[in-house]
Amino acid sequence: MTEYLGRVNFGYLITVCDHAEKNCPTTFLGVSQREHWSFEDPAAFHGTEEETLAKFREVRDQIEAKIKGWVGESISQ
């Protein structure tokens, strides 16, 4: 991030886990909008290796769907 900070205007800061929402910095140069999308933290999941991998994939797919919906809404506005 330090490679781009101050050089590129990202415009948005989106956190995807509640821990990040509570503990990460809340302001960045060039960020004009901040959003929080609450997803289950797959790293906190306890199960077999196969179950854990499935949980990571589930959350990954949820994030992908959210991004696609958000981008679609942004384009239609």
- What pLDDT, in 10s, does the model give residues 18-77? 877 788 766 766 677 888 899 999 999 999 999 999 999 999 999 999 999 998 887 776
Q: What is the pTM of this model?
A: 0.74
Give the sign of the dihedral formed by CA 35, CA 2, CA 65, CA 48: negative
The residues spanned by each domain of the chain are 1-38, 42-77
pLDDT at 32: 76
Token pair for residue 42?
């797959």
pLDDT at 76: 72
Q: What is the DSSP string of 11-73?
A: EEEEE-SHHHHHHS-S--TTEEEEEE-----GGG--S-HHHHHHHHHHHHHHHHHHHHHHHHH
